[in-house]
Amino acid sequence: MEVLPSSILSSIILASILKSGFIYCQSSDCYPQDFKALNGFHEQLDTPIDGWDGPLLACCKRIGVMCESSANTPSRVVGLILGNRRLKGEVADSLAGLDHLRVLNLSGNHLGGLFPAKLFQIQSLEVLDLSYNDFQGSFQDSLNLPSMKSFNISYNKFGGPLLVTVCHNASYIQTLDLSSNNFQGQIPANIANCSSLQQLFLSSNYLSGKLPGALFQLQNLRELHLGGNEFSGQFDARIGNLVNLVKLDISDNSFTGEIPDSFSRLVKLKHFYADSNRLSGPLPASLVNSPSLSHLRLSNNSLTGLIGINCSSMIHITDLHLRANLFYGPILEELSTCHRLSYLSLGQYNAGKLPSSFRNLKALKHLIIQNASLLNFTAALETLKHCKSLTTLILNRNFMNEEMPQKPNLQFRMLQTLIIANSQLRGFLPVWLSGCPKLQVLDLSMNRLSGSIPLWIGMLNHLFYLDLSRNSLTGDIPGSVGSLGNFANLNFSTEDKSSGIPIYLKTPGRQSLSYRHIGSLPPTIDLSTNKLTGPILPDLGNIKWLHILKLGNNCFSGNILEALSGMKNLETMDLSLNNLSGVIPGSLTELNFLSNFNVSYNELHGEVPLGGQFQSFPISSFIGNSDLCGLPLGPCLPPLVQPDQNHYGVRAVWKLEESNQHRPATCSGRKVKVSCLGSPNPLMVLVNTIVPLYINFNFMIC
Ligand SMILES: *[C@@H]1O[C@H](CO)[C@@H](O)[C@H](O)[C@H]1NC(C)=O
Ligand SMILES: *[C@@H]1O[C@H](CO)[C@@H](O)[C@H](O)[C@H]1NC(C)=O
Ligand SMILES: *[C@@H]1O[C@H](CO)[C@@H](O)[C@H](O)[C@H]1NC(C)=O
Ligand SMILES: *[C@@H]1O[C@H](CO)[C@@H](O)[C@H](O)[C@H]1NC(C)=O
Ligand SMILES: *[C@@H]1O[C@H](CO)[C@@H](O)[C@H](O)[C@H]1NC(C)=O
Ligand SMILES: *[C@@H]1O[C@H](CO)[C@@H](O)[C@H](O)[C@H]1NC(C)=O
Ligand SMILES: *[C@@H]1O[C@H](CO)[C@@H](O)[C@H](O)[C@H]1NC(C)=O
Ligand SMILES: *[C@@H]1O[C@H](CO)[C@@H](O)[C@H](O)[C@H]1NC(C)=O
Ligand SMILES: *[C@@H]1O[C@H](CO)[C@@H](O)[C@H](O)[C@H]1NC(C)=O
Ligand SMILES: *[C@@H]1O[C@H](CO)[C@@H](O)[C@H](O)[C@H]1NC(C)=O
Ligand SMILES: *[C@@H]1O[C@H](CO)[C@@H](O)[C@H](O)[C@H]1NC(C)=O
């Protein structure tokens, strides 16, 4: 039996509740008790509900109110469905007066405070949806909801210990969703009371400890979501008791030990997520032979041994996430017979060559193999070009020190994301990249690529994230960069936003891996730390949608042009450590989103422009220039040379003393200004080296 998506399940519950005899907004009668309850609720809210105007309006005519009447009885309110109505304030306990209420849906509002305990006592209530609000407080011990079928309080701030009293007397409860709250402590043993449960969501709380044995008695469970908590202990072999499981998620916890060999009993299991735990040992035979599994996620554990996936058994496997483990040895040819594989991530030592049989993986869309000592990049690309569905290729930290393949016959027509960073690759930016017309994300940072940035880069119409930082690229930025398609006219069509793509985040001092969704990457051009020269062209100003521009640590020269203020969405502009001269144009103050700005260590002069965020940027955004002044720097006065008591002879202006240590090697050989003690005339000195120059100046005779 297929498991139904929870939304369908709740609409089926809803449909069966709202069966015949149900009148929606028709009766003008209003049962007095219901009238009072609804008015009390309405009055306590901070904002009026649209369509509830006039306190005398009949209950059943109000928007979101559902009534039911039969021949002899007055119609009663059975449903209050006010999801996504921007309701604010607290919920009045008068609402408990609706003692025929079966469905209460207040999801997606801004309701807060304590949820009245009395409402957790409505005997007729079958569906409660309070998700996406700001309700808080610990969960009351006094729940009595004998008719409850679907209970959803996810995405609130409920906290305290997890008391599953919601299941007391609730013999029909199928769905319990307590995810994304602040519940703490262990899962109590009385979870066994929830024996009719089919879906249990406890993800993203602060739950801890071992899983209680009682949990493994819930024979009807089809979905168990425990991800994003602090559970620990051995991952329990009794999981095999839950024979109806279709989805099991224990990711982002601290489970230890080996994965139990219990999967032959879980004949319906399709999704097993256990990434980011501390699981060790080899993959058990029942897991790598599971005929039902379609999604297996075990990334970021300490699993060892060979990756012995048996494709002859695992006939449904489409997603296999195994990266960041301690697997060892070559990538097995066998994997290429998993014909349905769409997502494959691997992490192992000494992976050797990518098997050429991988060319048979026609369904493969995402391939991620990082830090696996892969060899022969040319051969790997020759193989992968046959995988016609490939959209994501991430091969960081492989092919160490190999030459970038240049064969023009390589084509990846569907490729959207190509990330091969941190691999010390040599050679030029390969022309075959121009045969990847759908490329959106290109990250070749931290290699040793040389040569110039080719003109054809501007033909990649969908590119919105370009990172070529930390290479040895030379020459100018071609003007065509300014016509990069998506930069100028952003149109995200990235598919599969759900699958996190691990990307190197460059934090100073260390490199860490982080899951980012491709769709959440900010539009970026990062060319920093290369040997680029020439002017920063006004064409860049065309790139209206750019969020991040990093050109630091090169040797760009000329002026910063007014036209750059065309990048209206820019948040970060880093031009530090270059040879830029002239003034900072005042037009940059029009960049309303600019929050990181750095022009330090250039040859700029004049006043820091007044306005925008400019006066709030730190001094380190501007240091190391010859003559910048004005807030946040000192006032624009004629330069004052302080006599230096400790040294004789010449000393550099203090700003330059600091800067000289940072100057990039590319930019050495230029002149810097120093002031001679006692002399009113500044002196131009040719700088030929990046060693701390102030020492030389200090001992230079004036
Ligand atoms: C609970 O509500 C949230 C938010 O509306 C929803 O995403 C989730 O699927 C619901 N849970 C169940 C089990 O239906
Ligand atoms: C509650 O209302 C929201 C918003 O209209 C809807 O998405 C959700 O499915 C409803 N919940 C149930 C259980 O029907
Ligand atoms: C269960 O229902 C019975 C009878 O309706 C009631 O006496 C009892 O207090 C309820 N139990 C809980 C835990 O609410
Ligand atoms: C609920 O759990 C408690 C404690 O585990 C137990 O004493 C009680 O009999 C259970 N009630 C039902 C209805 O399962
Ligand atoms: C890997 O798992 C550890 C916990 O075992 C977690 O702290 C870390 O954030 C995870 N890393 C990634 C990249 O998910
Ligand atoms: C792989 O699966 C096939 C088909 O189920 C089975 O005959 C074979 O023994 C399995 N191989 C291993 C090594 O388990
Ligand atoms: C790469 O793998 C080596 C072992 O081969 C390991 O020591 C190192 O920490 C890994 N580096 C990253 C960034 O994962
Ligand atoms: C890489 O593979 C290709 C084709 O398989 C082969 O011709 C070449 O010699 C290999 N290069 C190295 C360095 O092993
Ligand atoms: C944006 O992308 C969609 C889907 O790829 C396409 O249909 C649409 O024409 C594009 N819009 C623009 C303005 O490029
Ligand atoms: C600007 O760049 C310089 C050189 O890289 C760095 O030392 C300084 O901390 C940066 N300042 C800011 C505000 O980013
Ligand atoms: C630095 O810029 C100046 C003025 O634009 C130029 O004359 C000089 O050649 C540049 N220096 C280098 C090393 O590019």
Of the listed ligands, the closest to the CA of 11 is: 2
One-character DSSP codes across 153-200 = --SSEEEEE--GGGGTT-TT--EEE--SSEEEEPPPGGGGG-TT-SEE
Q: Are 130 and 157 in contact (CB under 8 A)?
A: no
Q: Is 576 in the pocket of ligand 10 (CB under 6 A)?
A: yes
pLDDT at 629: 86
pLDDT at 109: 96
Give distance in angstroms: CA of 371 to centre of ligand 7. 6
d(CA 10, CA 152): 10
Helices (H), 507-587: none
Look at 699 and 435; give whichever has higher pLDDT.
435
Q: Is 168 in the pocket of ligand 3 (CB under 6 A)?
A: yes
Residues 6+ apart with CB under 8 A from 623: 600, 601, 655, 658, 659
Range with the largest mean pLDDT of 158-162, 500-504, 512-516, 648-652: 158-162
Structure tokens at 430: 């390969």
Q: Is 169 in the pocket of ligand 3 (CB under 6 A)?
A: yes
Structure tokens at 163: 């008391």
Mean pLDDT for the stretch of residues 304-314:
93
pLDDT at 631: 85
Ligand 4 pocket: which of 164, 168, 217 to mutate (most atoms <8 Å of CB)? 168
If you take atom 9 of ligand 7, which residue's CA is the nearest one?
371
Of the listed ligands, the closest to the CA of 603 is: 11
- Strand-pair partners of 185: 207
If you take atom 8 of ligand 4, which residue's CA is the nearest one?
193
Provide the mean pLDDT of the chain.
83
Q: Name the E strands within 186-318.
A: 199-201, 206-209, 223-225, 230-234, 247-249, 254-258, 271-273, 278-281, 295-297, 302-305
Of the listed ligands, the closest to the CA of 375 is: 8
- In this structure, of 134-143, 398-407, 542-551, 561-570, the range with the lowest mean pLDDT score is 134-143
Give distance in angstroms: CA of 490 to centre of ligand 9. 9
pLDDT at 408: 84
3-class DSSP state for residue 683? strand
- In this structure, of 11-20, 165-174, 325-334, 490-499, the range with the lowest mean pLDDT score is 490-499
pLDDT at 684: 46
Residue corresponding to tokens 């070529």: 468
Q: Is 190 in the pocket of ligand 4 (CB under 6 A)?
A: yes
- Strand-pair partners of 651: 675
The percent of residues above 90 in pLDDT, for the chain, comes to 59
Mean pLDDT for the stretch of residues 168-185:
93
Tens of pLDDT, residue by residue over 681-697, are 544 444 433 323 333 34
With a cut of 60, say whether residue 20 has pLDDT above it: no
Tens of pLDDT, residue by residue over 194-236, are 999 999 999 999 999 999 999 999 999 999 999 999 999 999 8
Confidence of residue 185 (pLDDT cuts 50, 70, 90): very high
d(CA 219, CA 44): 43
265: part of which helix (H) or strand (E)?
none
pLDDT at 655: 34
- Give just the sign of the alpha carbon dihedral 76, 81, 86, 91: positive
With a cut of 50, say whether residue 417 has pLDDT above it: yes
pLDDT at 29: 66
With a cut of 50, say whether residue 24 has pLDDT above it: no
pLDDT at 322: 92
Residue type, 43: E
Of the listed ligands, the closest to the CA of 492 is: 9
d(CA 436, CA 362): 18
Residues 6+ apart with CB under 8 A from 363: 318, 339, 340, 341, 342, 389
With a cut of 60, say whether residue 641 has pLDDT above it: no
User: Tell me, what DSSP letter sits at residue 139?
Assistant: P
With a cut of 80, say whether residue 548 has pLDDT above it: yes
Tens of pLDDT, residue by residue over 251-285, are 999 999 999 999 999 999 999 999 999 999 999 99
pLDDT at 493: 42
d(CA 622, CA 147): 67
Q: Is 595 in the pocket of ligand 2 (CB under 6 A)?
A: no
Residue ranges and CATH numbers for the domains of the chain are: 1-225 (3.80.10.10), 457-624 (3.80.10.10), 654-701 (no CATH)
With a cut of 90, say whether residue 297 has pLDDT above it: yes
3-class DSSP state for residue 2? coil
Confidence of residue 504 (pLDDT cuts 50, 70, 90): very low
Range with the largest mean pLDDT of 5-9, 163-167, 258-262, 513-517: 258-262
- Locate the ligand 7 atom nearest the alpha carbon of residue 422 and give its number: 13
Q: Are 326 and 350 in contact (CB under 8 A)?
A: no
Phi-psi region of 160 (alpha: psi -120 to 50; beta: other; left: phi over 0): left
If you take atom 6 of ligand 7, which residue's CA is the nearest one?
371
pTM of the model: 0.81
Ligand 1, CB within 6 Å, residue ranges? 6, 10, 107, 131-132, 152, 154, 175, 177, 199, 201
Mean pLDDT for the stretch of residues 424-437:
93
The phi and psi torsions of 218 (rounded to 5 degrees) equal -80, 80
Phi-psi region of 592 (alpha: psi -120 to 50; beta: other; left: phi over 0): alpha
Of residues 97, 100, 154, the one with CA closest to residue 125? 100
Ligand 7 pocket: which of 300, 327, 370, 371 to mutate (most atoms <8 Å of CB)? 371
Look at 347 and 118; give whichever has higher pLDDT.
118
With a cut of 90, say whether residue 638 has pLDDT above it: no
Give distance in angstroms: CA of 144 to centre of ligand 3. 7
Confidence of residue 77 (pLDDT cuts 50, 70, 90): very high
User: Tell me, what DSSP letter sits at residue 657?
Assistant: H
- Locate the ligand 4 atom nearest the alpha carbon of residue 171 and give its number: 13
3-class DSSP state for residue 504? strand
The phi and psi torsions of 634 (rounded to 5 degrees) equal -70, 165
pLDDT at 328: 86
Q: Is 6 in the pocket of ligand 2 (CB under 6 A)?
A: no
Give distance in angstroms: CA of 104 to centre of ligand 2. 10
- Locate the ligand 2 atom nearest the alpha carbon of residue 127 and give its number: 13
Tens of pLDDT, residue by residue over 42-62, are 999 998 888 787 656 778 888
pLDDT at 206: 97
Tens of pLDDT, residue by residue over 143-176, are 889 999 999 999 999 999 987 788 888 889 999 9
Ligand 5, CB within 6 Å, residue ranges? 276-278, 300, 513, 515
Of the listed ligands, the closest to the CA of 309 is: 6
pLDDT at 50: 82
pLDDT at 485: 56
Q: Is 193 in the pocket of ligand 4 (CB under 6 A)?
A: yes
d(CA 631, CA 250): 53
Mean pLDDT for the stretch of residues 670-675:
48
Tens of pLDDT, residue by residue over 352-393, are 899 999 999 999 999 999 888 899 999 999 999 999 999 999
Q: Is 495 in the pocket of ligand 9 (CB under 6 A)?
A: no
d(CA 129, CA 111): 12
